[in-house]
Amino acid sequence: MNHSQHDRNRWAILLCVLPLLLLCSSGVPAREPGKLANVMILATGGTIAGTGATSTTTVGYTAATVGVDRLIQAVPELKTVANVKGEQVFQIASENMNNEYWLKLAKRVNALLKQDDVDGIVITHGTDTIEETAYFLNLVVKSKKPVVIVGAMRPSTAMSADGPINLYNATILAGSEAAVGKGVLVLLNDQINGAREVTKTNTANADTFRSWELGFLGYMQDNKPYFYRQSTRRHTADTEFDVSNLDTLPAVDIVYGYANMNRLPIDAFVAAGDKGIVHAGVGDGSLARPAVEPALIDARKKGVIIVRSSRVGNGIVARNGEAKDDELDFVVSDTLSPQKARILLMLALTKTNDTKAIQQMFYTY
Ligand code: SIN
C-alpha cells in the first residue's frame, strides 16, 4: 500500500469511529462546539404560570393560567441559550397532581428524549408537589439526557417574579452536558437540587427548597451550572421501573403519626383496597402502641405492604429499630420522606409483592 492510500484508510477509519468518540461516557452524544442545545419546555401549570390581581399580589393569586407560549415569550433571552420549543402537557395547580398526570408526563418525557433532536427537557411545575414529580420521573425516565423541573414562588404578574430567571437557568441547565446523567434535577433560586432529597420548606418564601442534611448538588451562576456533588442512588436509565404500558399505579396512601393517634385511617385505607401504606412515624419511624402497630400488623396479614417512614425530615429509619421489622414483615424507608416513599412503593408494587425485594429497592433508589 502506498502512502496516500494509507492516509486515506486512516481517514476512513477516523470518520467511522468519530461518532463513537463523540459519545461521552454517559452514552449521550457530545454536542458540536458552538451549537445551541435543543431544549423542550413542557408546561404543567403552577405558580410559575400563575397570575395575581396586582403586581404586589404574592399570595392569593391563581396558579396555572398562563400558557407555555407566553411563558417562553416572557423570556426572550431563552433564544440566546437554546433552541426552545414549548408544549402544554396539562395546566394544573400542583396540589392537584395525581398518578394519571404523572404517567402522562413520564410517557411524554420518555418519547421526547428518544428523539435525536431533543437534548434536554425543562418541565415547568407548581412548587407544592414538584419534589414528588421529580422523584417519580427520577425513577421512570429512561434516558441520561437532562430533565430539569422548575417552578416559581411568585406568580408571573408579581413584582420581582422569580419564574423568568428560574426558567432561563433551567433551560441552560437542561441544555448543558454537565447535567447529563445526574438524574432529574429541581432548579429554583440558583440552586440545583437532586430529585431524591429535595423538599419544599417554606410556604411562601422564594428561598424555599432544601435537600437538608444531604445537601443540594450545585449552583447556577453567571449562566453556568456548577456541580459539587451527585447522588449515589440509582436513577433514570439505571432503574428497573417501566411505566410505558401502565395506565394506573397500585393504590398506596400515607398515614401521618402524631400523639394520641388512632387506627381509623389505617383501617379505612385497608378497607378501601390499598396495596400499600406508608406510615409517617414520629422520630425513628416509631409506631404508637396499642393504637397503630396492631392496625399495621392486621393490614400486613391482609397482604398490604407496610413501609415505616418518618415525619422528621432527616435521618435513616433503622430497620428493626423502633419495630421488629423482620418479624412483622415491614419495610423501612431508609432516608426517603413519606411522600417519596409512597412513590417508590407504588413503583415497587408494579414489580413484586416480596417485602425483601421491596426493602432492597428502598436501599437502592
Ligand atoms: C402549585 O404548586 O401549583 C402552587 C404553588 C406554587 O407553584 O408555588
Centroid of ligand 1 to alpha carbon of 291 (angstroms): 35
Centroid of ligand 1 to alpha carbon of 1 (angstroms): 69
Catalytic residue among 47, 133, 171, 236: 47
Q: Which atom of ligand 1 is nearest to the CA of 94?
A: 3
pLDDT of residue 349: 99
Rounded to a whole number, what is the distance in angstroms from the first to the last CA of the chain?
56
196 SS3 class = coil
pLDDT tens figures, 160-209: 999 999 999 999 999 999 999 999 999 999 999 999 999 999 999 999 99
pLDDT of residue 8: 55
pLDDT of residue 21: 44
Count Cα atoms within 13 angstroms, Cβ side, for 362: 31
Q: Which residues pair with 256 in a beta bridge?
A: 280
Spans of the chain, pLDDT less than 70 = 1-25
Residue among 95, 127, 132 to mutate when testing ligand 1 (max atoms within 8 A of CB): 127
94 pocket-lining for ligand 1 (C-beta < 6 Å): yes
| 47 is annotated as an active-site residue | yes
pLDDT of residue 49: 98
163 pocket-lining for ligand 1 (C-beta < 6 Å): no
Centroid of ligand 1 to alpha carbon of 87 (angstroms): 19
pLDDT of residue 4: 52
Residue 199 · residue 337 · CB < 8 Å: yes
Q: How many residues does the chain have?
A: 365
Sheet holding 252-256, edge to edge: 252-256, 276-281, 305-310, 331-332
Centroid of ligand 1 to alpha carbon of 327 (angstroms): 42
pLDDT of residue 7: 56
pLDDT of residue 25: 60
Q: Which atom of ligand 1 is nearest to the CA of 46?
A: 3
pLDDT of residue 30: 81
Cis peptide before 290 (omega within 30 of 0): yes
- What residue type is assigned to position 114 of the chain? K
Sign of CA dihedral 181, 309, 128, 68: positive
Q: Which atom of ligand 1 is nearest to the CA of 48?
A: 7
Centroid of ligand 1 to alpha carbon of 128 (angstroms): 5
127 pocket-lining for ligand 1 (C-beta < 6 Å): yes
Residue among 47, 101, 124, 199 to mutate when testing ligand 1 (max atoms within 8 A of CB): 47
359 pocket-lining for ligand 1 (C-beta < 6 Å): no
pLDDT tens figures, 315-363: 999 999 999 999 999 999 999 999 999 999 999 999 999 999 999 999 9
285 pocket-lining for ligand 1 (C-beta < 6 Å): no
Helices 264-271 + 292-301 axis angle, to 10 = 20
Q: Which atom of ligand 1 is nearest to the CA of 153?
A: 8
Centroid of ligand 1 to alpha carbon of 321 (angstroms): 37
